[in-house]
Amino acid sequence: MNRLLIAIRRTLLDLRRQAGTTIITISTVAVVFWLLGLLGLIAVNLERLANALEENFRLSVFLRDDCLEQCRQRVIAQAQALEEIQAVEFVGREQAWSRYRAQSGLELERLLEENPFPDMLEVKPQRAKLENLQDLAQRLGTLEGVEEVVYGQSWLMKFFRLKQLVGWLGLVLAGVVLLASAVIIANTARLLALARREEIEILKLVGASRLFVSGPLYLQGMLMGLAGAAAGLGLSWLVFLLAEPWLAALAELQPVFIGSMLAELLVGCGGLMGLLGTAFSVQRYLRI
Amino acid sequence: MYHVHMEYGPDAPALKDITLRVEKSEFVFVTGPSGAGKTSLLRLIFLAERVSSGQLLLFGRNVARLRPREVPLLRRRIGVVFQDFKLIPHLTVRENVALVFQVLGQGVRESARKVERALELVGLEHRAGWFPLKLSGGEQQRVAIARAIANDPPILLADEPTGNLDPELSRSIYQLLDQINARGTTVMVATHDYDWVRSTHRRVICLERGRLVSGGLKND
């Protein structure tokens, strides 16, 4: 316990003595974690947007005019039998027409002499199957009695591709950021160890164990990593606060900041990178 | 120490075939011209270097068989003093001496008591709150000695302890080392100061080009 307190005290004293180097390191780590935080923010909100989209998504299956009651029941049964489909709802042409007029707010009956809508089915796919919509739409389109299947495929595909890209980019950037923070802290740890070279030698002279000598160095690395990651995520949070109203208007969905668990995980990763960077760079100064 | 060889590299032998024995509570000098191997001999005893061949026994243990984590434990039983003092400039005199006890994880009160005792022994209790760079060379060396003996180690090694000091300050260090030896501590001093060596009638281990010339055993 005594030694732990001594190690913590020595760590804090050293950080204060090397305040300039410490602040520069924490700031640099903060910048890389800020980038990661921003990307995390985008990824989390894209995911939320995708979830909302998936929840409310329906394929419109328009029936041919000659597809009457018996045909309609058969199409519904065939659609329900597909495993990718969660629910099927029949919407008669009158219902579709009045729903459309209500949604648009226009007095369309003045412009159009008759109801342009055919009978249709609203098909809700299973959420997990959304990314194979093209295949599902094609299969629904081949059912007898179906005129056309509409689901806004081009923008939907683009959206899912973007989501996927952000996911991959996030992973790559997370790797780069963690590596960069380890390298930055490794360099600083080396400088701090170099500045303390004589002190380390003296500690060895008086019989200090390897742990006693290295403990404060590891603690410094870990604290710099933790502080840098926390500061970077704090900056991301500030950016989020500033951009929140604009994002809400843009996406019609209340944006959220990255979850507390993910934030804690990222800060923990910062600390871990600090430890690894220190371990990598100070070995040569610790040989007994 | 039996037929000990030590080298810094394949073509850089530092000590060749050294056989010597130092008795408990003895005071011995290690002399020889520059490059004779005096510092290497002390570094070997202090476990800062490894024996290339031969056998070195410390406190009855063969150091070649020590595991790395045992090295610091053995070092705590050996005090070391260097020509350049090796004090930490941003720590006070008291804190420099207290390092020994921090390493051991001793309680604050216990260590403060022992630090005060060590500083009294070297006559520097009134400088406890000073920083090393405010002290004279002789005082800095006394602080280094206080740190080396604070934990009552059975062995004290001193490598040119008066090398940076004028004759008057050197004499006070000689007296101090004598006092420490009188308490039962084995003292081994590497020095160029032949006047001091001759005046004390102690055993002299003489080295030349890494070889032992004389004084390896007590009756040599």
Measured in angstroms, the CA of A284 and the nearest CA of chain B are apart by: 15
What global pTM score does this model have? 0.72
Q: Are A205 and B68 inside 8 Å of each other by CB?
A: no
Q: Are B86 and A201 inside 8 Å of each other by CB?
A: yes
Q: Are A208 and B103 inside 8 Å of each other by CB?
A: yes
- What is the tens place of the pLDDT at every residue in B57-100? 998 888 888 888 899 999 999 999 988 889 999 899 999 999 99
Measured in angstroms, the CA of B185 and the nearest CA of chain A are apart by: 17
Interface residues of chain A, partner chain B, Cβ below 8 Å = 2-3, 6, 17, 198-199, 201-210, 212, 288
The number of C-beta contacts closer than 8 angstroms across A and B is: 50
- Each of the 288 residues of chain A gets a pLDDT tens digit; together they read 567 777 788 888 888 888 888 899 899 889 988 988 888 888 888 888 877 777 777 888 898 888 888 888 998 898 888 888 888 888 888 888 888 777 776 666 667 777 788 889 888 888 655 567 778 888 888 888 888 888 876 677 777 788 788 788 888 888 888 888 888 888 888 888 888 888 888 988 888 988 888 888 899 889 999 999 999 999 999 999 998 888 777 766 788 888 889 899 999 999 999 999 888 888 777 765
Q: Give exposure, A53-85, as e/b (b: 16+ Cβ within 10 Å).
A: bbeebebebbbeeebeeebbeebbebbeebebb
Residue numbers in A near B72 (CB within 8 A): 204, 207-210, 288
Measured in angstroms, the CA of B214 and the nearest CA of chain A are apart by: 29
pLDDT given for residue B105 in this prediction: 83
- What is the tens place of the pLDDT at every residue in A125-153? 886 555 677 788 888 888 888 888 888 76
DSSP A92: -
Residue B123 has pLDDT above 80, yes or no: yes
Q: Are B103 and A201 inside 8 Å of each other by CB?
A: no
Start-to-end CA distance of chain B, whole Å, equals 15
Q: Tell me the angle at which helices B137-149 and B93-104 cross, rounded to the nearest 10 degrees.
A: 20
Measured in angstroms, the CA of B71 and the nearest CA of chain A are apart by: 8
- What is the tens place of the pLDDT at every residue in A37-60? 888 888 888 888 877 777 777 888
Residue numbers in A near B46 (CB within 8 A): 205
Question: Over chain B, what is the mean pLDDT?
Answer: 89
pLDDT given for residue B115 in this prediction: 94
pLDDT given for residue A251 in this prediction: 65
Alpha carbons A56 and A58: distance in angstroms, whole number: 7
Query: Judging by beta carbons within 10 Å of its beta carbon (0-12, 13-18, 19+), is residue A111 exposed, middle or buried?
Result: exposed
Q: Are A198 and B103 inside 8 Å of each other by CB?
A: no
pLDDT given for residue A30 in this prediction: 93
Please check whether residue A149 is in contact with residue A64, taking contact to mean a CB–CB distance below 8 angstroms: no
Q: What is the mean pLDDT of residues B5-23?
A: 87
Virtual torsion, Cα B202, B206, B212, B215, nearest 10 deg: -20
B88 in reach of chain A (CB within 8 A): yes
Measured between CA atoms, the residue of chain A closest to residue B81 is A205
Coil, strand or helix: which one is B80?
Answer: strand
For residue B170, what pLDDT band results from cuts at 50, 70 and 90?
confident
Q: Are B75 and A206 inside 8 Å of each other by CB?
A: yes
pLDDT given for residue B220 in this prediction: 62
CA distances from B176 to A42, A233, B7, B84 (A): 71, 59, 33, 17
Residue found under tokens 């080009």: B209
Measured between CA atoms, the residue of chain B closest to residue A197 is B88
Does B215 or B153 have the greater pLDDT score? B153
Which of B76, B87, B90 is opposite residue A207, by nearest beta carbon? B76
Measure the CA angle with vertex B197, ends B192 and B203; round to 5°. Answer: 115
B106 in reach of chain A (CB within 8 A): yes
Of B54, B76, B58, the closest CA to residue B21 belongs to B58
Measured between CA atoms, the residue of chain B closest to residue A200 is B88
Q: Are B75 and A210 inside 8 Å of each other by CB?
A: no
Q: Which CATH superfamily is domain B2-214 in?
A: P-loop containing nucleotide triphosphate hydrolases (3.40.50.300)
Which of A2, A6, A209 is opposite residue B72, by nearest beta carbon? A209
Residue numbers in A near B147 (CB within 8 A): 206
Which of B99, B105, B106 is opposite residue A206, by nearest beta carbon? B99
And the tokens for B161? 């302890």
CA distances from A63 to A56, A72, A92, A146, A208 (A): 22, 8, 10, 4, 84
Q: Are B102 and A3 inside 8 Å of each other by CB?
A: yes
Residue B165 has pLDDT above 80, yes or no: no
pLDDT given for residue B171 in this prediction: 84
Coil, strand or helix: which one is B47?
Answer: coil
Measured in angstroms, the CA of B163 and the nearest CA of chain A are apart by: 19
* Phi/psi at A24 (5° precision): -60, -45
Q: Are B103 and A2 inside 8 Å of each other by CB?
A: no
B102 in reach of chain A (CB within 8 A): yes
